Amino acid sequence: KVVDDAQDVNAELANLYSEARLKLLLTEVYDGESTLRANALTEENGSEVEMESQNIMGVKVPEIESIEVRRGLIEREYGLSNSSSRVDSTADKYEELLEKIVDAAETQTKIIRLLNEIEKTKRRVNALEHKIIPEMEAGLDKVSQMLEEREREETFRMKKIKEMQEEEA
């Protein structure tokens, strides 16, 4: 599910980036680079991200609350007389892109943490298979051999005791 989400988010991110880039280029052509820069410099977006933890198969992964980056025309701080609808449309598309980037970052962080945990688990399994289990089996064989040897010695000793008792009788 996480991988499917990542693929979907990455596809959406690529599409949004292409659309935003195209809008930016068109706005730059029609309104000029200086207008764009002036409007961009007046922008101050102080969006905050709230993070929580989610538990997936015993691995804590971040869950980012959906942030609202997109603002209305009035909430934007540049003057209405200095901007066109293209500037507003471009700003809106980049705000949408920023929201999608946050989603992509969350999904990719989940994948990275899950992959790291899978790697740790693989190393533990390899250690069990190739070191710990063979050592335990070798120890078990030694204990088994020692017990068999003691049993043979005990049997031999019992025979000797029986022979000695028969000779005395």
Q: Say if strands 59-64 and 51-56 run parallel, antiparallel, or are unpaired.
A: antiparallel
Output the CATH code of domain 2-123.
Answer: 1.10.287.3240
pLDDT in tens, 42-81: 666 666 777 788 888 788 887 877 667 766 665 666 555 5
Confidence of residue 110 (pLDDT cuts 50, 70, 90): confident
pLDDT in tens, 10-24: 899 999 999 999 999
Confidence of residue 36 (pLDDT cuts 50, 70, 90): confident
pLDDT in tens, 120-151: 999 999 999 999 999 999 999 999 999 999 99
Q: What percent of the chain has pLDDT over 90?
A: 37
pTM of the full predicted structure?
Answer: 0.66
CA angle 27, 29, 33 (to 5 degrees): 75
One-character DSSP codes across 9-65 = HHHHHHHHHHHHHHHHHHHHHHH-HHHHHHHHHH--------EEEEEETTEEEEEEP
Encoding tokens for residue 94? 């980049």
CA angle 105, 89, 10 (to 5 degrees): 25
Place of tokens 């410099």: 41
pLDDT at 37 over 60: yes
